[in-house]
């Protein structure tokens, strides 16, 4: 289908984002990959397909380009793309057996916790939540049945920065054949590469920054181990949670501007975080780029920049937070994140409503907290909008 581009291993991120996975179509010279809207493929002889193409649940050329591109950006060997981030995590959890144990961050995305709590728990998969910024607490969470460590960094919505290299090193010393998986959705491969830091698996909700335009639902897993890739591929093919060719094409298109968009997200977020930090109606600003963030030094070491996500605890109570949210004009009150437009939401009532109130309170998701996905609009307009809503 395409002419392989030259080896991009030593190329910069922007070059890989634009060229990795596909050079041009050798039939027509098209510089973008075709969208293969086909469900099935002709075979050269009974049971002898052309390459791996026998049915589009099993393989699709457009999806192959996307998977190769994401693997290249994460410095991984194998990429698998799914119909959503939850579908990717669901497939990973299907590698486990009854009585297996998972360690997860204490403030993971509500959908992640829901999958473990409401779906896999009934199949005998157990889990422990812990604060992975606390090494002792993390180590105490191991059991003889632990098979998977799942962490988000920056975490959602408290933006904790977890030391991937340290967690991976501790895990190797356990000698239990436990996999370390990192949800890299908030950081994207532009800001950090968990596989380079010792992780075994990288997960993305490609719905977010990788898609970047709030028009696609998708997910991905990237790994280096061939046997693990083959196991995940078998489960993906068996259960069928694959993205459409058109969604794959749109993600390929979006990836080409990921580095440019992330630069703007990070720049705008830093300006807004600094502005809100000195505002009388803001009690606390959580942003890894501020030196007040408890893991600021680690963020500087582990990440290339600090991302586009900010969490803010307002003065007053939930009523004050709701009033503020309803007054905004440019920021859109909506779940999700990572689009070019600025989104804002209330974790306790929206993205993390599935988490029990006592657990939210315990870990610091306050009723007056709002989470901001800073877009790439003009930063002055964004700050003016926040200012008028806070008044």
Q: Which residues are catalytic?
A: 57, 109, 183, 208
Bond prior to 154 in cis (omega within 30° of 0)? yes
Residues 158 and 64: their CA atoms lie apart, in Å, by 35
> DSSP of 287-348, one letter per residue?
-TTSTTSTTHHHHHHH-SS--SEEEEEESS-HHHHHHHHHH-SSSEE-S---SSS-EEE-TT
Q: What is the dihedral of CA 266, 270, 271, 272, to 10 degrees?
A: 100
Where would I find the H helices in the chain? 13-19, 61-73, 85-93, 110-114, 135-140, 164-174, 188-191, 226-239, 245-255, 258-277, 296-302, 318-327, 357-363, 379-390
Query: Rounded CA gap, 359 and 318, in Å?
Result: 17
Token pair for residue 197? 């830091």
Q: Which residues pair with 3 in a beta bridge?
A: 24
Tell me the HSE value of 379 on the side-chain side, using a 13 A CA sphere.
Answer: 15
Phi-psi region of 124 (alpha: psi -120 to 50; beta: other; left: phi over 0): left
> Would you state the structure tokens that stand for residue 56, as one six-digit string?
């589009």
């Amino acid at each position: 289908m395409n002419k392989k581009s030259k080896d991009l291993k030593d190329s910069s991120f922007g070059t890989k984002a634009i060229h990795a996975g596909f050079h041009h179509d050798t039939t027509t010279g098209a510089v973008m990959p075709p969208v293969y809207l086909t469900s099935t493929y002709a075979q050269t002889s009974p049971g002898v397909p052309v390459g791996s193409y026998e049915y589009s649940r099993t393989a699709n050329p457009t999806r192959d380009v996307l998977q190769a591109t994401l693997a290249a950006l994460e410095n991984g060997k194998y990429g698998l793309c799914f119909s959503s981030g939850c579908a990717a995590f669901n497939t990973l959890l299907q590698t486990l057996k009854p009585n297996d144990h998972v360690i997860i961050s204490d403030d993971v995305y509500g959908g992640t916790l829901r999958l473990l709590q409401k779906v896999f728990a009934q199949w005998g998969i157990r889990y422990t939540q812990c604060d992975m910024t606390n090494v002792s607490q993390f180590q105490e969470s191991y059991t003889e049945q632990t098979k998977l460590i799942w962490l988000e960094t920056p975490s959602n919505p408290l933006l904790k920065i977890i030391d991937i290299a340290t967690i991976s090193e501790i895990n190797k010393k356990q000698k239990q054949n436990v996999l370390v998986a990192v949800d890299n959705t908030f950081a994207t491969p532009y800001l950090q590469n968990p596989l380079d830091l010792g992780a075994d698996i990288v997960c993305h909700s490609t719905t977010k920054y990788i898609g970047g335009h709030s028009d696609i639902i998708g997910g991905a897993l990237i790994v280096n181990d061939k046997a693990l890739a083959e196991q995940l591929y078998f489960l993906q093919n068996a259960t069928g949670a694959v993205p459409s060719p058109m969604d794959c094409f749109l993600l390929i298109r979006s990836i080409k501007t990921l580095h440019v968009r992330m630069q703007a997200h990070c720049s705008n977020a830093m300006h807004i975080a600094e502005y809100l930090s000195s505002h009388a109606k803001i009690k606390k600003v959580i942003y890894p780029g501020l030196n007040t963030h408890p893991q600021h030094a680690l963020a500087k070491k582990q990440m290339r920049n600090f991302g586009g996500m900010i969490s803010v605890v307002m003065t007053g109570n939930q009523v004050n937070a709701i009033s503020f949210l309803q007054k905004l004009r440019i920021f859109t009150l909506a779940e999700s994140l990572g689009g070019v437009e600025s989104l804002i939401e209330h974790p306790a009532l929206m993205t993390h409503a599935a988490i029990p109130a006592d657990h939210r309170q315990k870990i610091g998701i306050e009723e007056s907290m709002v989470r901001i996905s800073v877009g790439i609009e003009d930063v002055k307009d964004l700050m003016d909008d926040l200012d008028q809503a806070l008044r």
